[in-house]
Chain A
C-alpha cells in the first residue's frame, strides 16, 4: 500500500503552523508521529492534499516543570515520556498509560499529542479501501448510515486514546492555537463526543500546542488499567484511569475516566460522587462499579459485545478502587 500523493509542508513556528492550517483548511492535516495517520492514509481513509509536519517546530518538544505544572510538548514521543525521570517521579500514572500504548516500535514514533488527537475507530471504518468498497460506506467514511446501528442519526466509532483518560484524571489542560488566538481549556472539554470529529482540533481550525498537568499532591494515587485482546499491541477494549486521595480513611478526591466505551473519554460521574466523602466498604465498591457499568452505552465497534464491555468496566472499576484504597482481597 503506497501513500497517496501530498505536499509535505514544514513550518518552523506555531504561528506559521496555524496559518498553514487556516490557509489550507479542509485540505490539510497535521502529522505528529504518524503511527495512526500513515495507516489511515494508506487505507485512503484520510487523503490530505497538504501534510503539515511539525519536526522543525522546536517549541513542541520536551518536558518541563513550570509554576506547579508539568508542561509537555505534544511532539514528545511516548517512549520519551516512559523514559523521563521527571514523569516517572511526578506522574507514574502517565508513564503507566504511555507504556500501554501499542508496541515498543510504535512508542518510539507515536507522540502524546498524536494520542490525544487520535481519531475514533470502528470495525467498519478502519479497514482497507478494498474491504470498504465491498460494503456500503459508513457515516464516518462519507456514507449515510452507521453500519453498526443501521441508523442515520450519528457515527458511533469508539474513542481509543490511552493517555486521555489518564490525563483527564490528573486534571490536565491543553493550549489551543489559531492564527488569531491562544486559549487554555481543560482536556475534558477538548473532546466533542462527536465520533466524526472527536476533538476540537479535528476540523483543522485549531492546533494543540501544549499539554499542562498540575503536579499532583503526595497523597494522590493513580492507576491505569487496560483490557485488550493482545497484551503486546492492541487498542483498548476498555481502559480506565483512576485517581483517589484519602484523609483519615475518607475519600477526599476521586476521578474515574473510561476509554474504549463511547465517542469520547467518559467520566464515571455517578460512581465518583458515590465515593466522595465516604469510607470504602465492599458494598460501596460494588455499588460504584455497577453504576459505572450501567452508565455507559457502548456499541459493537470492535469484536466484543456491549454487554462484555459493561462487565469489564464493572470489574475494572471495582479493582481500581480497591487498589487505590489499599484494599487487598
Chain B
C-alpha cells in the first residue's frame, strides 16, 4: 500500500505517493530522476548516496522514503544555483579533486554541510567530516585541499 507524504526537495514542494519499502535513495533516483545522487554500497558504508536531510548529511540508502515527511532534502543538483557552480565545485575542479567523480556528489554535500556550520574548519575537522565518504581515486589529499581553499577564501573575504 502506498503512503502519501509531503516534503521539500531542493526547495520545491512535493506530494509523493510512495511504496513503504522504498529508500530515500530509490525515491530520488528512480522516481524523481535525481540521478546525480549515486548508489554505491547500498549499506551505508561508502557515502556515495549522501544527501542533506534538514541540513545534516545522511546516507540516503539507509533512510526510508516515508520518513522524509515534513523534512527538507537537498541533493547535489541544488548546489549550483542560477547556472553558476558553487565555490566548492569550482575548487574541486581547480584542485583536481575529481577523478572518476563517483564520490564527488557526496563529498561536495558533506563539505557544504561542514562549511555551513563551521566556515573555517581545521584539517582535522575536514578529515572527520568526510570520514564516511570513500574515494578510491584521489587519495583524499586533493579533496581536503579543495575544501581548505574555500574555507580560506571565505576567511579573506
Contacts and interface: CB of A to CB of B under 8 A. Distances in A.
Given A105-B58, A105-B59, A2 B64 contact: no
Interface string A78-111: 0100000000000000000000001111101100
A55 interface: yes
B53 interface: yes
A103 B131 contact: yes
Interface residues of A, number: 28
Nearest to B43: A39
B131 A106 contact: no
Interface of B is mostly: mixed
B57 A108 contact: yes
B110 A106 contact: no
Nearest to B52: A108
B62 A232 contact: no
A5 B23 contact: no
B56 A7 contact: no
Contact of A7 (B1, B42, B61, B133): B1
A130 to B, nearest CB: 13
B62 A35 contact: yes
A5 B43 CA distance: 18
A233 interface: yes
A320 B21 CA distance: 44
Interface in B50-103: 50, 53, 56-59, 61-64, 66-67, 69
Contacts of B22: 3
Nearest to A79: B56
A105 B3 contact: no
A106 B44 contact: yes
Contacts of A105: 44, 47, 50, 57-59, 110, 132-133
A8 B64 contact: yes
Interface in A19-76: 31, 34-35, 38-39, 42, 51, 53, 55
A168 to B, nearest CB: 26
Contacts of A232: 131-132
Interface of A is mostly: loop
B13 interface: no
A53 B64 contact: yes
Nearest to A3: B21
B2 to A, nearest CB: 11
A34 B43 CA distance: 11
A303 interface: no
Interface string B101-136: 000000000100000000000000000110111000
24 contacts: A2-B26, A3-B22, A3-B23, A5-B20, A8-B3, A39-B43, A39-B62, A42-B42, A51-B20, A53-B64, A53-B67, A55-B69, A103-B133, A104-B110, A104-B128, A105-B50, A105-B132, A105-B133, A108-B56, A108-B57, A109-B58, A109-B62, A232-B132, A233-B131
Given A35-B62, A104-B128, 10 more contacts: A2-B21, A4-B21, A35-B59, A38-B23, A53-B67, A104-B110, A105-B58, A106-B44, A106-B59, A109-B59
Interface of B: 1, 3, 20-23, 26, 42-45, 47, 50, 53, 56-59, 61-64, 66-67, 69, 110, 128-129, 131-133
